[in-house]
Amino acid sequence: MAETKYIGKTIPSKEGARHATGRGLYTDDFTLPGMLHAVILRSPHAHARILKVDPQAAREPPGVFTVVTPEEIEKKTHPFKPGRYAAGLKKAIPEYAGAIGKVRYVGEPVAALAARTRGAAEDALELISVEYEPLPAVVDTAEAMRPTAPLLFEELGSNLAWKGSLHYGDVAAAFNQADKVVREHLKIHRYSSTPLEPFACIASFDAASKKLTVWVNAQVPEVIYDALREALGLEDVRVIIPDIGGGFGQKIHLIRKYVVLISLLAIESGRPVKWTEDRSEHMMAAGHSCAQEFDVEAAVKNDGTVLGLKFKEIDDVGGSISTLTIHFTNKLNNLSNTYRTKNIFLEGCSVVTNKCPVIPNRGIGKPGMCFIWERMMDRIAQELDLSPIEVRSINLVQPEEMPYTTPSGNIYDSGDYPALLKRALEKIGYEKLKAEQRREREQGRLLGIGVVIGVEPGGRNAARDMAIFPEMKESPGSGGVNGATIKIEKNGTVTLFLGSPNCGQSHETTTAQVAADILGVDPEHISTSTPFDSDLAPWGVAAANSGNNFHLYDIGAVHGAASRLREKILTLAAHVLNAKSEELAINAGVVQATGSPLKKISFAELGKIAYGNQALMPKGFEAGLQATFYYTFPHGEPNLVPGPEGLVRAQFTFSAGAHVAVVEVDKETGKVHVLRYLIVGDNGAVINPQVVNGQIYGSAAHGISVALGEGFVYNSDGQLLTLTLTDYGKSSTMETPRIEVEHRPSPSPFTTLGQKAAGEGAAIPSPAAIASAVEDALRPLGVRVRELPLSPEAVWKLMQEAVR
Amino acid sequence: MIPASFEYYSPTTLKEALDFLSSREDVKILAGGQSLVPLMKLRLAKPRTIVDLSRIPDLNYIREQGSRIVLGSMTTYEQIETSALLQAKCPLLPQTAAVVGDVQVRNQGTIGGSLAHADPAGDMPAAILTLAAEMKAIGPNGERWIRAEDFFVGLLTSALEPDEILTEVRVPALNGAKTAYLKAAQRAAGFAVVGVAVCLRLDQNGSCNNLAIGVTGVGDKVYRAEAVEKILLGKRLDANFIEQAAREVTRGVDVIEDINGSKEYRSHLAGVYTVRAVKAAMQA
């Protein structure tokens, strides 16, 4: 594009004021006439058979309208179709919106009721009587895989619900040629993003037309749309997504169960029904990231070159089969990280346990994959007595190799990884810090510097999972599609209809900047239509607030729609002004012929013509000033759909970042203080620096908090001990270090504006950066950091063990 | 999320409040509500009656009374934190109040509420025990004074009878004693995984001639680290000596264990924080 007045600039957030002043409209803000309030009865047991549910007493109090029990859920709804993450199951296992026959985790929904007020509903909930036969809980993957372990799903015959592997290159040869094999066992724990707003939905069913409308704070309309049609057998479903108080993956998957339950209550009661989840419900049952364990081996040359990598992964997927492989298959997205290693073997084991099901969360398996690489890089450096920077440097993909095809078929669009690393070291003053560290160590202070690097993939490819399930019966689709519509109204203002909902990442601002530059208007004069409405929005499969889709599909669609509309404006203006469209320019909503100051016309005047004055339109001109564009990634081939070799582009764009953490460990208490945290990042061409920085701050803060202690803890009976935010231990702004950010963009040659992803990037390398820094701080003690979280007690124990 | 239904009374005199206490069933006193309300919302507490003390006018004050300072039981943490009188004459209370919860909690929560709740990880109880404060309880049979050492009976249990109301807390003016309260704060909410309050005096030779150490977060109730006090009392407090003595901080205590710390780690932390608090007090 010739001029970019707005793209690349920080302009004030268009939706920020609304959110910051309490003017946002969230699902819970809506009230419909006659609306009832629902609550969910949840399992108090980690594992139990449901013998009997008696709702009678709960139906009696005044104000209670409807109670649905497992029996009714089984009778009146259908199980969800096994999605792509359950494609590897030996036997299909029907999964309903509520527990049928058995409960498999604390908090699993068992029954639901609707009453006139929330208080009455909560009172009545205590009157539902459920007889359980408690079964032994399985909370540990090793325990779960023992032949004598109690089974969560008897029909599978094992708690090892899935096992599979992928092989790229010649791993055996790599290990034969190696000077040394470096081994490590690594672990990442369960955590979540704990969005400020838990799940919420309102369901309203019109019995006459059989149309179901739901308002829900879901990140992916398709999941809700399909779930309601599958489970309730309805055709006509409308999904409205108002403002969302944070997503991060949390609101993609399990939320569908509740939308089905609440819709069932609405259908049964004949009234609209609202449900707002409370915090403890969210903590116990809304989904956790997966605890992952890795046995890793790296085949290395004496100079640090990694010839091959093998890892076996054990995933603790909790008490559901519907997201069985999600953390494993996401390893394909950043399988090589920033490195040139050609030979990689990976094996996954998905083990069901009596814990909350796992769900996507800020990068899904990608923080785990980055953790594997970056821990190994440090380990290799130690074992070969090289510097950790040297080992990383010798393995980095070089800028002249871009676009670079990874062994699993990803194509890295652009990037200069050595420059990111170099700049990060310069900016942090690495050599000086090292000298300071040596001096301070003599004084007994434990300072550590962790340097890591990671890619951040963006833009989903629905066909990815076929690499591990070539036998997949129903095609998951491929690539992605999303649309946008732009309209100039009669009065000249511009309205933008996005194809996807917005979780608070300033989509309204960023898209307005793109449209503003193309159309020649001020972004202030562009308004975005909210909420998302599946009846109106030009949405496709990538209308998903996940997978870092926005930069690719939404920006692509807005760019396409705005470009189309610009053509239309110029055609009409050229006709009216009696000029050639090539000589026209648009500025501040006025079309002007260059060199003829009198030949100009405003959007408002054009609007009047386009919507009301046929005589002034050119022949064959379609009335109105509106354009819609559905975007697919134009460079999707090769490796769009995996062939027999399993080569696939798991995602399409690759941002990257070098992270440096400087920490001090309190040698008495084990508490880790983050003294500095620096990111030098490549997010491609940045549309709004402040918006991108916001994404980076948030995801880095989360990753750091994850590394330092936030997380879920279960006891040996499968009871969740972290039911509140207090117990869960998330860092507040008070404990979050200042995050320094510098952009070193390498624009993507494949995307509309050179843009890349930014949504989850800093959450991917930051756990590894903290681990690396803590290990470096404890080097005088010979400590090796193998698992997260590094809570004060965990660090203290590492020090104690080292001293012994 | 919504508490079970309950009757709510908001008396304007102490007498009225006492009447409710003895005439209603299953009463809980609301004195700030920073612990009670969350428990009720989770339905872990379902009192049938709530008596809110916030409208009784004469329960909120900080006054000098001879060699003592008295505080009304409805005095908030924020008032304690910012009281010039306390800062000058009993700094341990402001030092402790300043690190309770967050700003919202400090604006709402009260000293009486904290003490009556007897949370084994409460900050205020540690300071009160260290100061050998006294609590005034008023019941149907009149008033009585309860010494701090008798006040904290066990896990979430104080010496108050169900029909009594805590109205006043009496602490000594310290006249130059040195104090400190330090805690290992839990990440999210900042409550004490281990908290140690210290009040000490040093004579001209630098020997410690007066010492009290109150410990919270470690046992099922706050306690005085008497074993440590005994070792240090009358001695010059050099660093090695303090460290040695601090190892005794959990002597005879059944150390609790939860997701914020194992027995072993808590015991260790108690030692570390005892050293740090004693040193901080010496430098105060």
What does the pLDDT read at residue A723? 95
Q: Are both B167 and B66 inside the same structural domain?
A: yes
Q: What is the DSSP string of A353-395?
A: -SSPPB---TTTTHHHHHHHHHHHHHHHHHHHT--HHHHHHHH
Question: Is residue A155's pLDDT more than 60?
Answer: yes
Residue in chain B closest to A671 (alpha carbons) equals B184
Q: Is residue B71 part of a domain?
A: yes
Contact B269 A731 (CB under 8 A): no
Q: Are both A86 and A216 inside the same structural domain?
A: yes
Residue in chain B closest to A278 (alpha carbons) equals B1
Q: Is residue B103 part of a domain?
A: yes
Q: Are both B20 and B104 inside the same structural domain?
A: no
Question: Is residue A186's pLDDT more than 80?
Answer: yes
Residue-wise pLDDT for A132-144, tens only, equals 999 999 999 999 9
Among B113, B139, B172, give the residue marking a domain's end.
B172
Q: Is residue B271 part of a domain?
A: yes
Q: Are both B126 and B213 inside the same structural domain?
A: no
What does the pLDDT read at residue A734? 87
Banded pLDDT at B1 (limits 50, 70, 90): confident
Q: Are both A614 and A674 inside the same structural domain?
A: no
Q: Is residue A162 part of a domain?
A: no
Q: How many domains does chain A have?
A: 3
Q: Is residue B115 part of a domain?
A: yes
Among A631, A666, A691, give the residue marking a domain's end.
A631
Residue-wise pLDDT for B94-110, tens only, equals 999 999 999 999 999 99
**CATH number of the domain within which A402 lies:** 3.30.365.10
Q: Is residue A190 part of a domain?
A: no
Residues in CB range of A652: below 8 A, 6 or more apart:
A411, A413, A457, A458, A459, A461, A552, A633, A635, A636, A750
Contacts of B42 in chain A (CB under 8 A): 280
Contact between A625 and A488 under an 8 Å Cβ cutoff? The reply is: yes
Question: Is residue A695's pLDDT more than 90?
Answer: yes
Distance CA A681, CA A664 (A): 24
Q: Are both B71 and B110 inside the same structural domain?
A: yes
**CATH number of the domain within which B216 lies:** 3.30.390.50
Q: Is residue A11 part of a domain?
A: no
Facing residue for B265 by CB, picked from A729, A730, A793: A793
Residues in CB range of B100: below 8 A, 6 or more apart:
B77, B106, B109, B114, B123, B124
Q: Is residue A161 part of a domain?
A: no
Residue-wise pLDDT for A381-404, tens only, equals 999 999 999 999 999 999 999 999
Q: Is residue B2 part of a domain?
A: no
The distance of B81 to chain A (nearest Cα, Å) reads: 20
The distance of B145 to chain A (nearest Cα, Å) reads: 35
Question: Is residue A597's pLDDT more than 60?
Answer: yes
Q: Are both B167 and B223 inside the same structural domain?
A: no
What does the pLDDT read at residue A2? 56
What does the pLDDT read at residue A474? 78
Interface of A to B at Cβ within 8 Å reads: 118-119, 122-123, 278, 280, 668-669, 671, 708-710, 713, 721-722, 725-732, 735, 792-793, 796-797
Among B172, B196, B215, give the residue marking a domain's end.
B172
Q: Are both A279 and A295 inside the same structural domain?
A: no
Q: Are both B151 and B188 inside the same structural domain?
A: no
Average pLDDT for chain A: 96
Helix, coil or strand: residue B267: helix
Among A615, A631, A647, give the residue marking a domain's end.
A631
The distance of A651 to chain B (nearest Cα, Å) reads: 35
Residue in chain A closest to B46 (alpha carbons) equals A123
Q: Respond yes or no on whether the N-terminal peptide bond of residue A689 is cis (omega within 30° of 0).
A: no
Contact B42 A721 (CB under 8 A): no
Banded pLDDT at B68 (limits 50, 70, 90): very high
Residue-wise pLDDT for A245-288, tens only, equals 999 999 999 999 999 999 999 999 999 999 999 999 999 999 99
Residue-wise pLDDT for A324-348, tens only, equals 999 999 999 999 999 999 999 999 9
Distance CA B254, CA A534 (A): 60
Among A604, A631, A658, give the residue marking a domain's end.
A631
Q: How many domains does chain B have?
A: 3
Contacts of A122 in chain B (CB under 8 A): 1-2, 4, 43
Q: Are both A454 and A514 inside the same structural domain?
A: no
Question: Is residue A1's pLDDT more than 70?
Answer: no
Q: Is residue A722 part of a domain?
A: yes
Q: Are both A399 and A485 inside the same structural domain?
A: no
Banded pLDDT at A201 (limits 50, 70, 90): very high
Structure tokens at A595: 């060199």
Distance CA A165, CA A646 (A): 11
Q: Are both A306 and A449 inside the same structural domain?
A: yes
Among B110, B142, B172, give the residue marking a domain's end.
B172
Q: Are both B205 and B242 inside the same structural domain?
A: yes
Q: Is residue A780 part of a domain?
A: yes
Q: Is residue A186 part of a domain?
A: no
Q: Are both A627 and A644 inside the same structural domain?
A: no
**CATH number of the domain within which A260 lies:** 3.90.1170.50
> Is residue B43 within 8 angstroms of chain A, CB to CB?
yes
What's the domain range around B111?
Answer: 59-172
> Is residue B268 within 8 angstroms of chain A, CB to CB?
yes
The distance of B175 to chain A (nearest Cα, Å) reads: 33
Banded pLDDT at A80 (limits 50, 70, 90): very high
Contacts of B188 in chain A (CB under 8 A): 710, 725-732
Question: Is residue A29's pLDDT more than 60?
Answer: yes
Pairs of CB atoms within 8 A across A/B: 51
Facing residue for B4 by CB, picked from A123, A730, A797: A123
**CATH number of the domain within which B67 lies:** 3.30.465.10
Amino acid at A430: Y
Q: Are both A279 and A307 inside the same structural domain?
A: no
What does the pLDDT read at residue A102? 98
Question: Is residue A647's pLDDT more than 90?
Answer: yes
Q: Are both B123 and B34 inside the same structural domain?
A: no
Residue-wise pLDDT for A435-452, tens only, equals 999 999 999 999 999 999
What does the pLDDT read at residue B190? 87
Residues in CB range of A358: below 8 A, 6 or more apart:
A190, A287, A288, A289, A290, A315, A316, A317, A318, A323, A326, A327
Banded pLDDT at A473 (limits 50, 70, 90): confident
Q: Is residue B1 part of a domain?
A: no
Which of A122, A283, A704 to mutate against chain B (most B CBs within 10 Å)?
A122
Q: Are both B155 and B67 inside the same structural domain?
A: yes
What does the pLDDT read at residue A471? 78
> Is residue B103 within 8 angstroms of chain A, CB to CB?
no
Contact A122 B2 (CB under 8 A): yes
Q: Are both A395 and A305 inside the same structural domain?
A: yes
The distance of B42 to chain A (nearest Cα, Å) reads: 8
Arithmetic mean of pLDDT, B151-180: 96
Arithmetic mean of pLDDT, B143-156: 97
What's the domain range around A643?
Answer: 291-463+638-803
Arithmetic mean of pLDDT, B138-160: 97
Question: Is residue B146's pLDDT more than 90?
Answer: yes
Residue in chain B closest to A117 (alpha carbons) equals B2
Arithmetic mean of pLDDT, A356-379: 97
ipTM over 0.85: yes
Cα distance between the two ends of chain A: 65
Residue in chain A closest to B269 (alpha carbons) equals A669
Banded pLDDT at A3 (limits 50, 70, 90): low
The distance of A132 to chain B (nearest Cα, Å) reads: 22
Q: Are both A329 and A402 inside the same structural domain?
A: yes
Distance CA B169, CA B176 (A): 21
Residue-wise pLDDT for B113-137, tens only, equals 999 999 999 999 999 999 999 999 9
Q: Are both B65 and B155 inside the same structural domain?
A: yes
Arithmetic mean of pLDDT, B132-143: 97
Q: Are both B262 and B243 inside the same structural domain?
A: yes
Q: Are both A297 and A398 inside the same structural domain?
A: yes
Q: Are both B77 and B47 inside the same structural domain?
A: no
Residues 173-202 of B with CB under 8 A from A: 184, 186-189, 191
Q: Are both A704 and A733 inside the same structural domain?
A: yes
Percent of chain A's residues with pLDDT above 90: 95
Q: Is residue A10 part of a domain?
A: no
